[in-house]
Amino acid sequence: MMQTYTCIICPNGCELQVDMMKDRRTIKKIEGNLCPKGAEYARQEVQDPRRTIATSVLVQGGVLPLASVRLSKAVPKNQIFDVMGAIKKITLQAPVQAGSVILFNVLDSGSDVIVTRSVKAGGQNV
Question: Does position 102 have pLDDT exceeding 90, yes or no?
Answer: yes
Q: pLDDT, tens digit, for every residue of 55-93?
A: 999 999 999 999 999 999 999 999 999 999 999 999 999
Share of the chain above pLDDT 70, in %: 97
Say what the pTM is.
0.81
Contacts for 5 with CB less than 8 Å, ≥ 6 apart: 15, 16, 18, 41, 42, 45
Question: Does position 126 have pLDDT exceeding 50, yes or no?
Answer: no
pLDDT value, residue 123: 62
Q: pLDDT, tens digit, for every residue of 11-27?
A: 999 999 999 998 888 99
Rounded Cα–Cα distance for residues 63 and 123 (Å): 4
Domain ranges of the chain: 2-48, 54-115
Question: Does position 124 have pLDDT exceeding 80, yes or no?
Answer: no
Note whether 43 and 28 are within 8 A (CB): no
Topology of the domain covering 54-115? CPE0013-like fold (3.10.530)
